[in-house]
Structure 1
Amino acid sequence: MNASPSPGSPGSTDSSGSPGSPGSSATARDRRSVAEFLRLEVTGGMLLLAAAALALFLANSPWSAGYATVRDHHLEIPFLGLDLSVGHWAADGLLAVFFFVAGTELKRELTVGELRRPAAAALPVVAAVGGMVTPALIYLAVALPSGGASDGWAVPMATDIAFALGVLAVVGRRLPSALRTFLLTLAIVDDLIAILVIAVFFTSELDVLALAGAAAGLLLFRLLHARGVRGWYWYVPLALAVWTLTYHSGVHATVAGVALGMLLRATPRDGEESSPAERVGHLVHPFSAGLAVPLFALFAAGVPVSPATLGEMAGEPEALGVVLGLFLGKLLGVFGATYLTARFARARLDPRLGWPDVAGGALLAGIGFTVALLIAELAFADDPAMTEHVKAAVLLTSLLAAGSAALVLTLRGRRLARSGDSASP
């Protein structure tokens, strides 16, 4: 999958058609600057937060009816059998781009990154598992005795990697670089488990023929890639076909994005500066961070939040289970699993990390947002009122986790700076 010639290169033209003109070079520099800005973790986190804040504002403003009309407006592609609302296009379609980038990152981590070495990956992997099992158990412990629905057990399991790393980028300049590696590995494993949960537990009745067609498309994608076939005009239509067939199969369509990302080769061959997984992930990341995820947040996070809503949430075991699971469950699960593994197994915490760093990272893991909002929509699809309340619980708890983590990590950074032991992530 090769990119087209870079603007400003000998084969490019400016708007007037003249190759290599000064205007063409300036436009290319501008595009590269915007793309690099969108690749910054802090940028993705801030865009996500801004989109969610705008959604909350619109949903609780005099324009709420217009916002709901746009979100619920259906866009149909008859010959593909697709008829989805704008909100569902964002959740099923645009979010597949985010999962595609996550798939490329996961493939690289499993092949050439931290996850390829069991000794290095042990602690963050165990931390990720603890940070997903504990919130689910806390949710069930709160919801079931009170007669609440068990369907939401998976909502507090997910960590938003973009927002969490964005917060860390803002407050973590004086913290050890090992904390970012720990959190990134934890979040990638978290994403993998969340993807499996979506595929297994939130799949409707399977259409075997459509699923077989999607599998055949993935196989063709892999064969073309293995033979070195280049050109986006082969892969983009094929990816769209795989996504469409996955949607019709009953499996959540975002799983197609992960599968496609993981099929890319993650090790460079002789003469290559970077692998296809790294190169394509690098190209697509600005579209994910700057367009796909913010638009999903814009249409997913728009829930009414009023004193009456908060009062109703306080009496609902589902919303309370999400709050306690996402905040307390992530903190206890990530920190507790890391401590117990380091204490009783051969795995060792990176010597550059202290337990306050791990505690701050555990709080960051309580930022749910993207995947948690998606699972809330899937878990309570038949109960719109409960969906809104659970989404509000996710948003409020994510902000609480982000604020608490920022406070802990800022104080930790100041202490390290005073002692002269800080290291930039």
Structure 2
Amino acid sequence: MKTFNYKNQELLCDGVPVAQLAQQYGTPLYVYSEQALTDAYHHYSKSFKQTNPLICYAVKANGNLSILKHFAALGSGFDIVSGGELERVLAANGKAQKTIFSGVGKTHEEIAFALEQNILCFNVESINELDRIQQVALQKGIKAPISLRINPDVDAQTHPYISTGLKENKFGIAYKDALNAYLYAQTLSQLNIIGIDCHIGSQLLQVEPLIEAFNRLILLIDKLSEHGIHLHHIDMGGGLGIPYHHQETKPDIEKYAQAIESTITHKNLQLILEPGRSLVGNAGILLTQIEFIKKTEDKNFIIVDAAMNDLMRPSLYQAFHEIIPVIDNKEVPPITADIVGPICESGDFLGKDRTLSVQEQDYLAIKSAGAYASSMASNYNTRPKAAEVLITKNNQARLIRKRETLFQLLENEQTCL
């Protein structure tokens, strides 16, 4: 059964009427499918069955504790970029020993906490960070497992804000400097070099850039071996995208697996993958209600109660999300309009020039909102964060995040006398 589909003109999520959820929990509302999460995870494990990779879900895509707990139960590891995300993983019964710590700005406190929890590996992004991990590990009397994130200078052919593998990006160590960086790491007493890592960008719909990056890393692994540095794993990061538009196609994960698995097996390397968006993106929608339909001489606007603080991607990346009515009422005359929120910014839009048969007070579903929606949400304009609901495999709706209250927003602030 398709996760989101119409039955008798009414949108369902795994058989549960979406309008009913909006009425019960209010809007804006994030709705996720547990079955879709499971299917996406198993797609990876089945595609790469020859190498049995460690799949480390990228927490930044959606860090809700129930979602993390679900992936942990499936056997997933985790990719984190902050000490706070490590706290989330532990709170969701995730294993620190299956957790990779990425990110360019790890603090002393975050490194110390991760060492105390016995994480699997630090993905190191600079020489400065090597020195900092050495210092903290020395103070703790612990050997720190590390991998260097190498920037292979491969064009991911994606939006410039989410491209991370070019030499001008802030991430990683330049390919030409990689050997010297590893040789330097080898001199530091408290570091245990166990891997190599790369992540070239997000929302990749073609696998060829990933295969090119992999081949460049294999050449470097061979060179490291010649210098007595033998690695345990190769971490290819994440980045595979999802179809946000019906004209887009899913990336060919099977093709990606076939291109790299024989080499990994031959080199006796553990494969690590860090998918995020491709596991949760199309498992979620954002529900919103139409407040007003505003018609002007030059433009029509459908003003809804969700906004850029609930879904930042259209404003930040000019990203496309399909927007559909919850009740497909073809008797209503269609209108072409921008879907906008109530925030006082011209950039507060969720969709441009969409043609919909809707009227005021109708509900809309913004698709592909499982990734980088709730996790990037803010309280701009003093807007409480939306509630989140998970439809379980038994077709039951579970509230997995309560709607934030205005009291919660204000309780940590103090007025100066």
TM-score range, shorter chain: under 0.3
| More helix as a share of residues | 1
Q: TM-score, normalised by structure 2?
A: 0.23
* TM-score normalised by length of structure 1: 0.23
Q: Which has the higher contact order (CA 8 A, sep 6+)?
A: 1
